[in-house]
Amino acid sequence: MKKSYLSLLAVSFLCASSSFAALSTVTLTQDTHQYSGGNSGGEFKAVTSGNGTFQTFCIDVGHEFYSKGTYNYTISQQTYAGSGNNISIGTAWLYSQFLSGGLSAYGYNYTLGSTRTASATSLQAVFWGLENEFYDKSGNLFNNKNPFYNAVVAKFGTLAAAEADAGANNIYGVAVMNLYSGSNPNQNLHQSQLIELRSIPEPSTVVAGALLLLPLGVSTIRILRRKQVALK
């Protein structure tokens, strides 16, 4: 009886551990009729293998992705894998406000349709501008005629302050999905996308919890064995 319980416990722990080895994947969809700015970038719909479904924006114009394509990804603060360039604090704040619906106060229209795609085009331009990327294909929207530019400058006092490095601590709960295809996360790169991490537990926390359960499992086995002996 003890051996079988130990085997079951070991198998359960191995199954939990193996989930961390699986690659994280995301399928990205661009819908230019409802929420995406088309050639001017996001919003994009992201469906991930472990981090849920959400709307996102790209922050890297040096790479591409295909709508409805599925890619592997890692999570970091860098604009793309190996860039050494962390996202700005303004980008992190703006994206957190977008997800919470807070940008409606600055004129973001969340109703699906052409008005939302126009809002998305303006917000995408600000993300690119804050990261010193190409702003948009129809003109420079990174100026005080853009309500989201004005919002982020007002939040941090100056444009330079908004452009400051957000650091490596996922400030405002925001990080970056660095997309790639193949097995090497530093090769075959695709456009990096923003992601919110507030509701995602750290893998180390989950593993620690599993390890804490191991002594409890052994104690339970001992109790069951004592009961079995007493019944004989």
pLDDT tens figures, 84-99 = 899 999 999 999 999 9
Give the residue, 66 or 199, on which the prediction is more confident: 66
pLDDT band at residue 38 under the 50/70/90 scheme: confident
- Please tell me the predicted confidence (pLDDT) of residue 167: 86
pLDDT band at residue 21 under the 50/70/90 scheme: low
- Please tell me the predicted confidence (pLDDT) of residue 198: 64
- Please tell me the predicted confidence (pLDDT) of residue 210: 43
3 exposure class (CB count in 10 Å sphere: 0-12, 13-18, 19+):
exposed
pLDDT band at residue 62 under the 50/70/90 scheme: confident
Average pLDDT over residues 210-227: 44
Buried b (16+ CB within 10 A) or exposed e, 119-135: bbbbbbbbbbbbbebeb
Output the six-digit token pair for 164. 């400051």
Write the DSSP assignment of 180-232 as a string of letters: E-SS-TTSSB---EEEE-TTPPPHHHHHHHHHHHHHHHHHHHHHHHHHHHHH-
153 pLDDT higher than 60: yes
Task: Indicate the domain borders of the chain.
Answer: 24-213
23 pLDDT higher than 60: yes
Give the bridge partners for 26, in sequence order: 48, 71
0.95 exceeded by the pTM? no
Average pLDDT over residues 199-213: 43
Nearest-CA neighbor of 127 among 188, 69, 44, 186? Answer: 44
- Please tell me the predicted confidence (pLDDT) of residue 50: 86
pLDDT above 90 covers what percent of the chain?
Answer: 62
221 pLDDT higher than 50: no
Mean pLDDT of the chain: 81
- Please tell me the predicted confidence (pLDDT) of residue 224: 41
